[in-house]
């Protein structure tokens, strides 16, 4: 019994070490996904249903707060379009409204679109660090490379990813 317990303990230790070391081999999986995001920027909050196509075009359909529900922001490179009901128009990002929150999250995701981007591992955290919209950020990933959360280093921005799925 002691031999089995010792073997299992050694095997567990090896697996834990292997998991921590593999973080640098993980590529962020930030294209070809859908998720719900709870986003906060300077104590203002919104929620959005988000889809990121395989080419990087990103759609944020706002679901809260109620006064912007149904507004869709479409980011493609440096262009942004807004849709509401049947209206569609080019949009200018304001740094402090819901579009700024979505713009910040888009900038973080777009910063990781390069397939050469690799994650770092520190203890149990797997993350990508960078700078987007003049703010340093960490994008935290699961073991498969799918995003879990993002935050600015100065604490002014955060996003929590829920129900992340890969799109066909």
pLDDT digits (tens, 9 = 90+) for 80-124: 888 988 888 776 655 444 558 898 999 999 999 998 898 998 888
Q: What is the pLDDT of residue 96?
A: 42
Question: CA-CA distance, 121 to 141, in Å (whole number)?
Answer: 10
Q: What is the pLDDT of residue 78?
A: 82
DSSP class of residue 25 equals: G
Question: CA-CA distance, 81 to 75, in Å (whole number)?
Answer: 7
Q: Which of 150, 151, 158, 160 is nearest to 40 (CA)?
A: 158
What separation in angstroms does the CA of 42 have from each of 15, 37, 159?
40, 16, 12
Phi, psi at 29, each rounded to 5°: -100, 85
- Check: CB of residue 157 under 8 Å from CB of residue 137: yes
Least confident of 98-102, 105-109, 138-142, 152-156: 98-102
Alpha helices in the chain (DSSP H): 2-21, 98-111
- Check: CB of residue 72 under 8 Å from CB of residue 86: no
**Greatest C-alpha distance within the chain:** 71
Residues 23-166, CATH architecture: Clam (2.50)
């Amino acid at each position: 019994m002691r031999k089995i317990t010792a073997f299992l303990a050694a095997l567990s230790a090896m697996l834990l070490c292997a998991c921590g070391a593999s973080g640098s081999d993980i590529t962020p999986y930030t294209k070809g996904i859908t998720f719900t995001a709870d986003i906060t920027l300077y104590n203002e909050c919104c929620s959005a249903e988000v889809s990121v196509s395989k080419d990087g075009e990103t759609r944020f359909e706002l679901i809260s707060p109620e006064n912007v529900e149904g507004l869709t922001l479409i980011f493609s490179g440096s262009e942004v379009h807004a849709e509401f009901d049947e209206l569609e128009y080019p949009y200018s990002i304001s740094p402090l409204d819901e579009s700024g929150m979505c713009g910040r999250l888009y900038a973080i995701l777009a910063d990781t679109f390069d397939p050469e981007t690799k994650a770092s591992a520190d203890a149990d955290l797997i993350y990508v660090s960078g700078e987007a919209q003049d703010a340093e950020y960490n994008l935290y990933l699961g073991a498969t490379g799918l995003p879990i959360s993002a935050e600015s280093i100065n604490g002014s921005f955060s996003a929590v990813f829920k129900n992340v799925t890969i799109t066909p």
